[in-house]
A = this chain, B = another copy of it.
């Protein structure tokens, strides 16, 4: 097995084996660019390292040492030799770019003897001991778990003593002394001398880079970016070139276009007499790349040529690192550059305009998830950099918000008149809706990615951090504690719904802005994709918003949210507390005209686009108060005794409401509720058709079906009511069901005989298939990530192994039971790119997601289509 490749043995398309950095170094060598020689230890060696129980096998070690010998011969230098020593850098590089997530060690091969030799050889002892002290810091930090910070304190002390501010102001003797101090500190802490044998330094460093694949920030980054944990990282060992050899040396990073705006102009910065880490560390202020023209015109010109060559070669904006050693330019890295959403769109449009990309190329180059940042406010980047993260929750609804916090919906609503507010709750309930609308952002201590707060916030496009267990909230007393700090009602906080971070300070935000670029780009996506994109919307406002984002219909209208409005909750509660069908019908008669209005509004907003309306889904107790005071007030309102009301609420109590008396089970017990809703839907459709002449076809969706007899029964009620309402009027309507219970998927052929469409409710399907509640999973999912049992939140990204198996089975059985059956998804997964791709491959007709995710789904559907062609 070959575990090591010279750069010249590699190629640009060998990312899987050599990692991105290794493949690109190989490609640059092949292009004849000035790249210091080196070799790559493959990702397969990393996998082997883990298979062998975190141990570098002898055959890997042997190959590394063999290639090291080659590198010595090639460079004419000797690794560990005092006369003409070879130093190397050791850098991670995985298949996918994970910037800053893993570890790097520079100047490896240095020891006391080498330093002495180099000082003589170069006549530049300052550079040599600077390099040595850097190496001690990095090896200690990465390999030996001695934090870099401890060494920085030693430097600070030295600078104080010398009365200077910058590292560059320290002289050769200072550097030499630092090396002594660092080694002493190392020995003090580790009990052994700092390792002097270069080959052992190298092997330990390679192992440390392999280990860094599983450090915590790498795991989190992978989860957020859908990178599998079994890919592993490669390790690149490269002859060092030195940007810190004096004023004719330097180092820098640059982008071939502006990564913030997308402007087609070289963008970057450099530092003279420095190593790469100095640029990032921000101790000295770098110069802009333009200034290099004045400082070293030759190098600048050469660099500009290389940039142009690389961008043409890779056909994408490049992110590069370079070093100048005594006036000679070396390229250390190139890769496709990360960019903001704005930049991504501008670059895409210009690349297409310049004929470099096809439209399909352009569509594949933009990450759908990134579009979110275009639609929501974001924190000012500079202010954000300085802010302190006090805790993190789930990034439940994207965007950034800052405001005074309040712990009740009522307070949030009132105080919103005096400036932006954040609503902070243990968890939200439908009763909080007005406070949620008034707030700039919502923070909850409990609940997952599909909790009430998360779902409603996404629907409204409001930023939300959910399930932040570190917040101990005392709603009644009007304060919370987080990270040891007390936050009172009215104090400022900031929350970031895209990252889940929360801050106890006021961080300014910038508003979202939709550009013409965005619309052009989305039109391309629409030209390509074949799967439809609908939205989940409960109000005409949401529906209109979604249409403006390109929604082609409504995949899910939840009728229950309508019943919480002030004029409906009364009759709704009357209905629930009725002792007989007759009483229930009286209350339902009051609700009927209101429901008709609701649906007229939605039908009007959607025009000829299809609209799926789901019958009442939640358990009835959700509409009743739970607190003693509220019960007292309601009893008085309704003219019943508190005891009667308490008994009824008590009798409706459920141990597991998610698996309780809800969905179509309500229609089985109280057919008159389904009847009223069916009437309202059809009556509204008839009214709108009469008024506008638009030939709309309402889709009535029965939730939570698990048995074909349930479907037959409820369908019968709906059909009868619909036919009575129509009384011969010419209007088509469809009756279908959600597939959200595992049993429904297992018997989908039978159910399809009774259902004209299926809509996969993958939120509930995920809950039932995994056997955990989305509202409770927050308590243990972190442990699952930590132990690497799960890589993703199955509520955010569809579990294709388990849940996906049921979806595919139901698609197959459904089409068997009813050829041509309409198939869609209305779970939250409809807005997740990888899940959208799954839905496309599973053969669904449409996905439906919250309004602000519609653009994401449109692009993801286009990408899925493009991928399927190749």
Please state if B790 and A707 are interface contacts (CB–CB under 8 Å). Answer: yes
Given A710-B789, A713-B787, A772 and B665 touching (CB < 8 A)?
yes
Q: Is A775 positioned at the interface, with any CB of B under 8 Å from its CB?
A: yes
CA distance A511 to B773 in the complex (A): 45
Binds B, one of A124-132, A137-145, A742-750: A742-750
Closest to A660 in B: B776
Q: Within residues 758 to 815 of chain A, which ones have a CB less than 8 A from any CB in chain B?
A: 764, 767-773, 775-776, 779-780, 783-784, 787-790, 799, 801-803, 805-806
Point out the residues of chain B lying under 8 angstroms from A775, CB to CB. 654-656
Q: A780 is contacted by which of B472, B661, B790 (Cβ under 8 Å)?
A: B661
Given A668-B784, A767-B659, A789-B707, A776 and B654 touching (CB < 8 A)?
yes
Q: Is A422 positioned at the interface, with any CB of B under 8 Å from its CB?
A: no
- Interface code A704-736, partner B: CB below 8 Å = 1, 0 otherwise? 101101100100000000000000000000000
Please state if A743 and B764 are interface contacts (CB–CB under 8 Å). Answer: no
Please state if A741 and B764 are interface contacts (CB–CB under 8 Å). Answer: no
Point out the residues of chain B lying under 8 angstroms from A472, CB to CB. 647, 651
Interface centre among A472, A668, A788 (most CB of B within 10 A): A668
Please state if A655 and B776 are interface contacts (CB–CB under 8 Å). Answer: yes
Point out the residues of chain B lying under 8 angstroms from A651, CB to CB. 469, 472
Chain B nearest Cβ from A680, distance in angstroms: 23
CA distance A654 to B783 in the complex (A): 17
Chain B nearest Cβ from A768, distance in angstroms: 5
Chain B nearest Cβ from A779, distance in angstroms: 5
CA distance A806 to B661 in the complex (A): 24
Please state if B770 and A769 are interface contacts (CB–CB under 8 Å). Answer: no
On chain A, the number of residues with a Cβ less than 8 Å from chain B's Cβ atoms is 52
Please state if A655 and B658 are interface contacts (CB–CB under 8 Å). Answer: yes
Q: Is A657 positioned at the interface, with any CB of B under 8 Å from its CB?
A: yes
Please state if A801 and B747 are interface contacts (CB–CB under 8 Å). Answer: yes
Point out the residues of chain B lying under 8 angstroms from A756, CB to CB. none
CA distance A799 to B706 in the complex (A): 12
Q: A658 is contacted by which of B656, B742, B764, B806 (Cβ under 8 Å)?
A: B656
Given A746-B806, A787-B668, A659 and B772 touching (CB < 8 A)?
yes
Closest to A707 in B: B789
Protomer copies: 2
Please state if B770 and A743 are interface contacts (CB–CB under 8 Å). Answer: yes
Chain B nearest Cβ from A867, distance in angstroms: 25
Point out the residues of chain B lying under 8 angstroms from A764, CB to CB. 771
Please state if A789 and B713 are interface contacts (CB–CB under 8 Å). Answer: yes
CA distance A747 to B806 in the complex (A): 11
Chain B nearest Cβ from A809, distance in angstroms: 9
Please state if A742 and B767 are interface contacts (CB–CB under 8 Å). Answer: no
Point out the residues of chain B lying under 8 angstroms from A789, CB to CB. 668, 707, 709-710, 713
Closest to A671 in B: B787
- Interface code A656-684, partner B: CB below 8 Å = 1, 0 otherwise? 11111100010011000000000000000
CA distance A559 to B784 in the complex (A): 24
Q: Is A740 positioned at the interface, with any CB of B under 8 Å from its CB?
A: yes
Please state if B707 and A661 are interface contacts (CB–CB under 8 Å). Answer: no
Chain B nearest Cβ from A26, distance in angstroms: 35
Q: Within residues 440 to 484 of chain A, which ones have a CB less than 8 A from any CB in chain B?
A: 469, 472
Point out the residues of chain B lying under 8 angstroms from A783, CB to CB. 665, 668-669
Point out the residues of chain B lying under 8 angstroms from A657, CB to CB. 655-656, 776
Closest to A740 in B: B771
Chain B nearest Cβ from A529, distance in angstroms: 30
CA distance A669 to B779 in the complex (A): 9
Closest to A653 in B: B446
Q: Within residues 809 to 862 of chain A, which ones have a CB less than 8 A from any CB in chain B?
A: none
Chain B nearest Cβ from A825, distance in angstroms: 17
Please state if A656 and B776 are interface contacts (CB–CB under 8 Å). Answer: yes
CA distance A799 to B710 in the complex (A): 15
Point out the residues of chain B lying under 8 angstroms from A742, CB to CB. 742, 768-769, 771, 802, 806
Chain B nearest Cβ from A34, distance in angstroms: 46
CA distance A657 to B775 in the complex (A): 10
Having A742-B768, A746-B805, one finds 11 other A-B pairs with CB under 8 Å, namely A654-B776, A656-B658, A656-B773, A659-B767, A659-B772, A706-B772, A707-B789, A709-B788, A713-B787, A743-B769, A746-B806
4 tightest Cβ-Cβ pairs between the two chains A and B: A743-B802, A656-B773, A659-B773, A741-B771
| Contact sample, A vs B, 5 pairs, CB 8 Å cutoff | A660-B772, A668-B784, A743-B769, A747-B802, A764-B771
